[in-house]
Amino acid sequence: MTATSFNLWAPLVVAALVTALVTPLSILIAPKVGAMDVPKDKRRVHNKPMPRFGGIALYAGIMAGLAVFAHGRLHVDEIMVGCTLIYILGAADDIKGLKPIIKFAGQVVCASVVFAMGLRIEFVTNWFGEGHMNLGIAACYIVTVIWLVGITNSVNLVDGLDGLAAGISAISALSIAYVSYIHGWYLPTTCMMVLAGACVGFLPFNFHPAKTFMGDGGSQLLGFALAALSIIGTVKSATLVVVVIPALVLGLPIFDTLMAIIRRTLRHQSIGTADKEHLHHRILRAGFGQRRAVLLMYSLSGIMGIMAILYSRDLYIECLGLAFVAALILGVILTDTGTNKVSLKGYRIIKELPDSPPVKEVDDSKK
């Protein structure tokens, strides 16, 4: 293995190992601290109490990886402070339960702290001319906080099926890492590989049937880390890494969040109101099980990741082509009536032709 390969993959491996080692401990700790997810409403898709303290394992993996491979480098220490604060907020919600307004206020505080420490979106590309447009301090603060809080909540809202948030976060982090690597921006590459590694180490325990959930502590941490680590790229390009690429990669959870806001606003409900109308819920109603629903969401996230890579190489036509494919898939999902009953174990006749004799269901698994 060359030195370059070691430097590229070692952060992922270390973060994955630490997370995988800590996750079983988190399962044992969860009932003792009251971090259990009890299925008390129809919105949940599991039918028995589940530990939801896996966020501590993700936190351990991310902190270990950043401490070993990026400590002391540009804005990394500030991000570690912000990740610690957002994890504490999420863990408190997992154990005690917090009102949505308290959670939102806490997220704004966490974003404000890292902003005060120097992590900021200070300029954007000038779309009407050459160079960058510098933001004033007020605009800089607003844009930075909206970015951090928005992505944090996008990942938090998509955490509705076993392995979904961890898998999408891993795909997103790997996509941003690849874009950063091919452009020679090695610090964002290292940090994103750490984040992807933590997700990979957690997935064996979280993929369906899950042994544990990451809880708000984990999902908010992943969202905040993705958003904050991508800001490191602003020193190299105003919008390539910090806005456009993460926005494309995270297009699925961002789309789901925007749809939730629109849906609840039209219904005159609070934006924080929970429902069962998220994209992953619609996929389940279309006749897919949890595993296939999650794999379908992974595929869509992968398409978005490839779009981001193509965009970074100025391949805009190819990027638009993939966007059209993703839109078609989303259209099929959102318009499905949920009457599909397909089984890989046999052939089930749903609608028979007029005047045709009854057809028995054939189950190949018994042959």
Bridge partners (DSSP) of residue 37 are 50
Indicate whether 238 belongs to any domain. yes
Residue 327 lies in a domain: yes
Per residue in 99-146, pLDDT (tens digit) is 989 999 999 999 999 999 988 887 655 444 455 556 678 888 998 999
pLDDT at 202 over 60: yes
Q: Where does the pLDDT of residue 275 fall: very low under 50, low under 70, confident under 90, or very high at 90 and above?
A: low
Looking at the chain, the whole-number percentage of residues with pLDDT higher than 70 is: 79
| Whole-number pLDDT of residue 351 | 42
Residue 253 gets the label, from left (phi > 0), alpha (psi -120 to 50) or beta, of alpha
Report the 10 Å Cβ neighbour count for 304. 25
Query: Which pTM value belongs to this model?
Result: 0.82
pLDDT at 72 over 60: yes
Max mean pLDDT range (75-89, 122-136, 150-164, 322-336): 75-89
Regarding predicted confidence, which is higher, 333 or 320?
320
The domain of 82 spans: 7-340
Confidence label for 259 from pLDDT (cuts 50, 70 and 90): confident
- Quick check: is 204 in a domain? yes
The reported pLDDT for the residue numbered 183 is 84
Q: What is the pLDDT of residue 117?
A: 93
Q: Does residue 313 fall inside a structural domain?
A: yes
Within-domain flag for 362: no
CA angle 349, 351, 355 (to 5 degrees): 105
The answer to whether residue 159 is domain-embedded is yes
Handedness of CA 168, 173, 178, 180 (dihedral sign): positive
Q: What is the DSSP letter of 202?
A: H
Q: Give strand pairing partners of 171.
A: none
Distance in angstroms (rounded) separating the CA atoms of residues 132 and 125: 5
Mean pLDDT of 238-259: 69
> Residue 2 in 3-state DSSP?
coil
> Would you say residue 367 has pLDDT above 70?
no
- Predicted pLDDT of residue 134: 62
DSSP assignment letter at 208:
S
Task: Examine residue 353 and state whether it is found in any structural domain, yes or no.
Answer: no
**Which range, of 75-89, 148-162, 278-292, averages the lowest pLDDT?**
278-292
The mean pLDDT of the chain is: 81
**Which token pair is 367?**
């042959």
* 350 domain residue, yes or no: no
**Using 50, 70 and 90 to split pLDDT, how confident is the model at 349?**
very low
When divided into structural domains, the chain yields a total of 1
**Range of lowest pLDDT (9-18, 67-76, 260-269, 329-338):** 329-338
Q: Exposure pattern of 218-245 as b/e (b: 16+ CB <10 Å)?
A: bbbbbbbbbbbbbbbbbeebbbbbbbbb
Q: Is pLDDT above 80 for 251?
A: no
